[in-house]
Amino acid sequence: MVCFCDIPLKFISRNHTERYGSYGIGFKKDWGTTNKVSPILYRLEQSGFSNSFRNSSFELNNIIERLEGLKMLYGENDSEILNIQSMLGALHSHSENMAGFIKSYEELYQGEIRNNYIDREWRWVPERTKKEFHEKDDESYREELNRKYHENPDHLFFDVNDLNYLVVKEKKDIDVMIGKIRNLGLSEEEKFALVQKIIDIDSINSDM
């Protein structure tokens, strides 16, 4: 999973940079939509949507478990049961993929309630990667999942033309970024294009 924020430069506030840092990459939106990046859905914990989604997942798991019992009754190779099991497996996979595009409206982070809605988050969720979910937003569990995914990762690909901005914190960081760009294995034309995309947070805040 890769996460993005759909926030115009003029709306990048101190709240956002304090949460995610003052360095970033700004992609063109059409690159995101072409690569199946999608806006996510924010849910309130006890909302009708949350309850329905939670209950439907619970019922689906119950049906899958009961089907295992029917296999014992009618035989492991019953064709009708195998067909139903295959369809339920596909439905379960689709449900997991949908869950990857859902996030809590707010969450407890470092002892404080944090509003996630202001992030205007978009996500890319690889379809082939096995999904694992945890009932609580636990940082250590998240780190363990990231480790697993990095062992067999999916990839998003982009080139220089897919970028709008390279965002740095201060004007003094621009020269540092230019130095790093010069050491990249790119053509001189691509390096020049990247340099033109550098912008610093201080200038954004002072101009907007």
Whether the CB-CB separation of 124 and 64 falls below 8 Å is answered with no
Identify the domain containing residue 77 by its residue range.
37-151
Tell me how far CA of residue 87 lies from CA of 49, 76, 81, in angstroms.
Answer: 24, 16, 10
Tell me what pLDDT residue 174 has. Answer: 95
Evaluate whether residue 63 is within a structural domain: yes
Evaluate whether residue 52 is within a structural domain: yes
Work out the burial of residue 195: count CB atoms within 10 Å of its CB; fewer than 13 is exposed, 13-18 middle, 19 or more buried: middle
102: which residues sit within 8 A by CB, 6+ positions away? Answer: 40, 41, 42, 43, 53
DSSP 21-72: -S-EEEE-HHHHHHTT-EE-EEE-TTSHHHHHHHHHHHHHHHHHHHHHHHHH
Report how many domains make up the chain: 1
pLDDT tens digits, 153-164: 677 899 999 999
Evaluate whether residue 145 is within a structural domain: yes
Would you state the structure tokens that stand for residue 19, as one six-digit string? 């949460």
From the list 104, 99, 158, the residue with the least C-alpha distance to 130 is 99
3-state secondary structure of 142: helix
Evaluate whether residue 57 is within a structural domain: yes
> Phi-psi region for residue 111, left (φ > 0), alpha (ψ -120 to 50) or beta?
left
Whether the CB-CB separation of 4 and 121 falls below 8 Å is answered with yes
Evaluate whether residue 157 is within a structural domain: no
Q: What is the pTM of this model?
A: 0.75
Buried b (16+ CB within 10 A) or exposed e, 81-92: beeebeeeeeeb
User: Which pLDDT tens digits describe the chain residue by residue (208 residues)?
Assistant: 889 999 888 777 677 788 888 899 999 999 999 999 999 999 998 899 888 888 888 888 888 888 877 777 777 777 887 888 888 888 888 888 888 899 999 888 778 888 899 889 999 988 755 555 555 556 676 677 677 766 666 778 999 999 999 999 999 999 999 999 999 999 999 999 999 999 998 887 776 5
Tell me what pLDDT residue 133 has. Answer: 54
Evaluate whether residue 48 is within a structural domain: yes
The rounded distance, in Å, linking the Cα atoms of 152 and 154 is 7
Tell me what pLDDT residue 149 has. Answer: 65
Evaluate whether residue 208 is within a structural domain: no
Evaluate whether residue 194 is within a structural domain: no
Please, which residues bridge with residue 168 across strands?
Answer: 200
From the list 195, 207, 208, the residue with the least C-alpha distance to 168 is 195
